[in-house]
Amino acid sequence: MKPQLHPHLRHHFMLADKQALTPLFSTIQQKAASWRQGHKDPFLLKIRDIVEERLQDEISIDDLAKIVYYSRVQVYRKIKALSGQSPSRFIRTIRLYKALELLCTTDRKISDIATDVGFLDPKYFFRVFRIEFGEAPSAIRS
């Protein structure tokens, strides 16, 4: 049996935890907003829309090329030039920011969110989420 804290103390510790996480959360929100603002190019917006429509599907550069009527090489070069990321990294980043949005706006399980945004392996999701945002998904949720 776990020791129980007095309700006033429990509230105090919960408030302290939230205050400690507030700077982290606002930093991550700022990063998400700047990422969204930084990608206003119509081509990147189209790619983002395509990826968000097919979050649970495996999307390759060839798939994107067929949809936007460019060659595979053109898609790679254009995404790399406009975003500074390879297409696979850009797609992963879109998935991670969508996961961040779902973590902040829903109460669904983290593993379900990971699956919904296209990460079949929850361990991989946790690892790349931590790399992208500097914190585990559970810390964002707290």
- Domain that includes residue 92, residue range: 32-141
Cβ proximity of 107 and 114 under 8 Å: no
CATH of residue 68:
1.10.10.60
What pLDDT does 8 receive? 43
Is residue 7 in some structural domain?
no
Q: What's the CA gap between 31 and 63, in Å, rounded?
A: 29
Task: State how many domains the chain has.
Answer: 1
Q: What is the DSSP letter of 75?
A: H
Q: Would you state the pLDDT for residue 16?
A: 44
Name 13's Cβ contacts closer than 8 Å, sequence gap at least 6.
5
pTM, full prediction? 0.74
10-residue stretch averages of pLDDT, the chain, 142 residues long: 43 43 55 61 92 91 94 96 93 94 90 94 95 89 70
**Contacts of 121 by beta carbon, 8 Å cutoff, 6+ apart:** none
- pLDDT of the residue at 28: 59
44 assigned to some structural domain: yes
Examine residue 91 and state whether it is found in any structural domain, yes or no: yes
Whether the CB-CB separation of 55 and 98 falls below 8 Å is answered with yes
Residue 8 lies in a domain: no
Residue 119 forms part of a structural domain: yes
11, part of any domain: no
Please give the Cα distance from 72 to 88 (Å, whole number). Answer: 12
